[in-house]
Amino acid sequence: VGKRDKSAPSTAGFSYEKWEINPSELTFMKELGCGQFGQVRLGKWRAQHKVAIKFVRQGAMHEEDFIEEAKIMMKLSHPKLVQLYGVCSQQKPIYIVTEFMENGSLLNYLQEGRGSFDLGSLLSISLDVCEGMEYLEAHGFIHRDLASRNCLVNDSRVVKVSDFGMTRFVLDDQYTSSSGSKFPVKWSPPEVFNFCRYSSKSDVWSYGVLMWEVFTEGRMPFENNPNHEVVTLIMQGHRLYRPKLATPTLYDIMQLCWKERSEDRPSFSSLWVMLSDTLEEDV
């Protein structure tokens, strides 16, 4: 078929924008779980490509704002970020379609595999997340809820960062308000739980807590303290203890991420260098 004359109106049938997926090209399979926006299922796109499909419950999301943002998020592409393939927004509920990650959330992966990880594999997990975050940092993109629950593991045991920037479209006050029961206080620096001042340096604080989760193989940070007590503890200068599996050098790196002043924390690019350097040390 010859090239369609660009000036001609696209009257030939309903055309899909490049961030739109035709829902009739999707088939739905098993449920993977339920998240802040609702159900997530495994599916197939064009009958052979496995995908994850989020069904966005009515009233759970600022949908118009998200559709606008999806055009930008489609452009973010990196081997350690869960790739957004597109959205189906011409119907309700809308669908968000991403690459499929066979082994589920990093938190469950750590908990299910507790006792089976060696230092090298925990460091490899930390480096995967750091690489994904370094890419977001370089593109001026803030995650806002980096935690092991929001990272995913594929069948090659590669860990990728997921749901970056999505907190901006959540309509649940319990989640968005810093005093809400679902606010990620235990992963937030003082400038976030006090003033909601997000930056790549606030993501770095969360990354330090994610490292703690990795080296404790999925324990809950401050497991004996409710959120409001953690705010006081952090403001008094208390920090998470050194996980047994973490070397003193790795714990020093975590503590750099938890510097009170955001400008004193390392960037993700310098974190990557520091973490990679420990590879030689630990061998």
Ligand X SMILES: CN1CCN(C(=O)c2ccc(Nc3nc(-c4cccc(NC(=O)c5ccc(C(C)(C)C)cc5)c4)cn4ccnc34)cc2)CC1
For ligand X, the binding residues (CB under 6 A) are 32-37, 40, 52, 54, 82, 98, 100-104, 108, 145, 150, 152, 163, 166-167, 170
**DSSP codes joined into one string, the chain:** -PPP-TTS---SSPPPPTTB--GGGEEEEEEEEEETTEEEEEEEETTTEEEEEEE--TTSB-HHHHHHHHHHHTT---TTBPPEEEEE-SSSS-EEEEE--TT-BHHHHHHHTTT---HHHHHHHHHHHHHHHHHHHHTT---S--SGGGEEE-TT--EEE-STTGGGGB--HHHHSTTSTTS-GGG--HHHHHH----HHHHHHHHHHHHHHHHTTSPPTTTTS-HHHHHHHHHTT--PPPPTTS-HHHHHHHHHHT-SSGGGSPPHHHHHHHHHHHHHHH-
- Tell me how far, at minimum, the Cβ of 126 lies from ligand X, in Å: 20
Give least dist CB 270 to ligand X, A.
Answer: 26
Whichever of 154 and 247 has its CB closer to ligand X, that residue is: 154
| Residue of this chain nearest to ligand X (CB atom) | 35
Which C-beta is closer to ligand X: that of 52 or that of 81? Answer: 52
Of the pair 65, 102, the CB lying nearest ligand X is at 102
Selected catalytic residue, list 5, 118, 145, 252: 145
Least distance in Å: CB of 53 to ligand X?
A: 9
Q: Which is nearer to ligand X, 62 or 261 (CB)?
A: 62
Is 65 considered catalytic here? no
Minimum CB distance to ligand X, residue 22 (Å): 20
Catalytic residues: 145
